[in-house]
Chain A
Amino acid sequence: MKKALLLFIICFLLFPNSTFAHTGLVSSSPSEGEVLTVSPEEIVLEFNTKVEQGSQFQVINPSGNGVAVTGISVEDNMLYGMFPQELQGGDYQILWNIIGADGHPIEGEISFTVESEQEKTSNEESNQIINKDEQSIEEDPVVVEMERANPPAIMSTIAVILAILAIVSFFYVIRKGKIQ
């Protein structure tokens, strides 16, 4: 058993975690959380393996509707698409669903923000104030107490049932031994 354990450890040391079994997003443009000052012209999603044909994405605008995207195409591990129109200011989401090389459909989302002309000017003016605000947020994080019914009331019932089963089984085994 000791030898097995040793082999176990050696194997674990020999093969560091470097590979992933399923396809995932490596990088994107725009990237997650990016704030753009100009409307993006295209979207590029890069994955860690080849993605199959039929992989696609949607872009959702601040009011929750789909944005027109043209020329969605797949090339090896890249997924491309273009915006025919300029995007208005606001928060956008890219919802991607792809089929990885191993046939697993995988989906995810990326949020990015396009600043409108107004925001841009006001941001420049109030940059200092924002910085101050950010600092104060970091200094005293808002602690939200989550209300939890833990453990759920049913747990005590389960515990009692299991305890009764344990006692019954115990006497069963004891009697079994006496009979034979």
Chain B
Amino acid sequence: MIIYLISELLLYLSFAILAGTFIIAIVPNEKKPTISIHKRWLQLSILGIVLFSAMPVVQIVEYLYQGVGLSLTLTNVINNFEVGRAWTLILILSIFYYLLISVFPVQQKKSYAVLALVFLFILILAVGWASHAASLTEWSGFAFHTTHFTAVSVWIGVLFIVSWFSKDTKNWNALLKWYSPLAIVCFILTMISGFYMMSLVVDLTDYTNSWLLDYGQALLIKHLFIIPLLVFAFFNGMWMKCRLNQNPQFNPKPWVRGESLLLLFIFSATAFLGQSSPPHEIESTIKTNGVSALFQFFYGGTIAGVSQVQFSLTTFSFVFMLLAAIFLALLIYSFRKKAPAIFAFFMSFLSVLSIYLSFMTSF
């Protein structure tokens, strides 16, 4: 389970690194800090895509090989299963992509960078096929998944590259000028497509009931991390300009790094979502998969069914909500008071934990 989770997380990161690199490569030099990404990182990311997108195939083979034999199962899955065929396509595309990146000056020549981005989009489509074969006839699901994946890769890819691969902080305000609108557009696209995909799986009225399942727990944790993420995005997008105008020596990098770390948590929760059974029918999913261990821990008693679990305000939920409000206030205050970014990150984490506990104690 954990290996599938990590590989899914690394798959998202591989896409983000490639998307970020080539978008940065297109941007003129006077609108970005000095950034150098070793070719090795790009090659590793492509290898990562091949390897980590093979995990669904590995999962099926692991599930089926007993009795039939490993090699026969492997050829059968790769040739006949939708997931296997999609992966074969990913493999072929990746070989060409690897050659393109290794042989041509993709980071220096803008035309090659554009070509690399087009290639990346085709790979996103292929991964979308692999994970959405069931609903391939339902084009809306596939289209929204692709939109979600692309928007996230662009938004977070640039953020990752700027926060971890930049050599200095020159042209930072010029960077914010083009990146902020891009990030806002990507965020809105991500939100709309994410909301749509969620509505396919969870009935909105069942949102709190879905917390009984692992899927709902991961969804809740993911959504909670969006709160401090938006605060960080606001710091980095709006207040950072004023801060840099006041004090050009100020180093904005720890703050964008903090934002990218929060995104890693969101990625992890998303990876978990991809691996757990979605709650189409909460009652029957509880029957087959059991109640989430996390929920069980907080709830304490035995759970017979969804209707038994009622949402209501308790003293504990009130206390935790109050603590969450304090941590959020401290998070905002920490930027004004010029506290280090790591402190703000810590506050974000504590506020998410408090809100989560507040919800979990309100049953």
Contacts and interface: CB of A to CB of B under 8 A. Distances in A.
B338 A180 contact: yes
Contacts of B292: none
A80 to B, nearest CB: 19
A50 B131 CA distance: 14
Q: How large is the interface on A (under 10, 10 to 19, 20 to 34, 35 or more residues)?
A: 35 or more
Contacts of B347: 169
A129 interface: no
Contacts of A172: 339, 343
A76 B4 CA distance: 28
Nearest to A52: B81
Q: How large is the interface on B (under 10, 10 to 19, 20 to 34, 35 or more residues)?
A: 35 or more
A12 B319 CA distance: 34
Given A53-B80, A105-B59, A151-B316, A100 B134 contact: yes
A137 interface: no
A169 B343 contact: yes
Contacts of A15: 140, 196, 199
B301 A162 contact: no
B320 A159 contact: yes
Nearest to A152: B300
Nearest to A170: B330
B80 A52 contact: yes
Contact of B361 (A21, A52, A155): A155
Given A11-B196, A21-B200, A146-B304, 18 more contacts: A7-B192, A20-B200, A22-B277, A52-B81, A54-B64, A102-B131, A102-B135, A103-B81, A103-B83, A103-B133, A104-B56, A109-B287, A159-B323, A162-B353, A169-B347, A173-B343, A177-B336, A180-B338
The 5 closest A-B pairs by CB, nearest first: A148-B301, A103-B83, A102-B134, A177-B337, A149-B300
Interface of A: 4, 7-8, 11-12, 15, 17, 19-24, 49-50, 52-54, 99-109, 144, 146-152, 155-156, 158-159, 162-163, 165-166, 169-170, 172-174, 176-177, 180
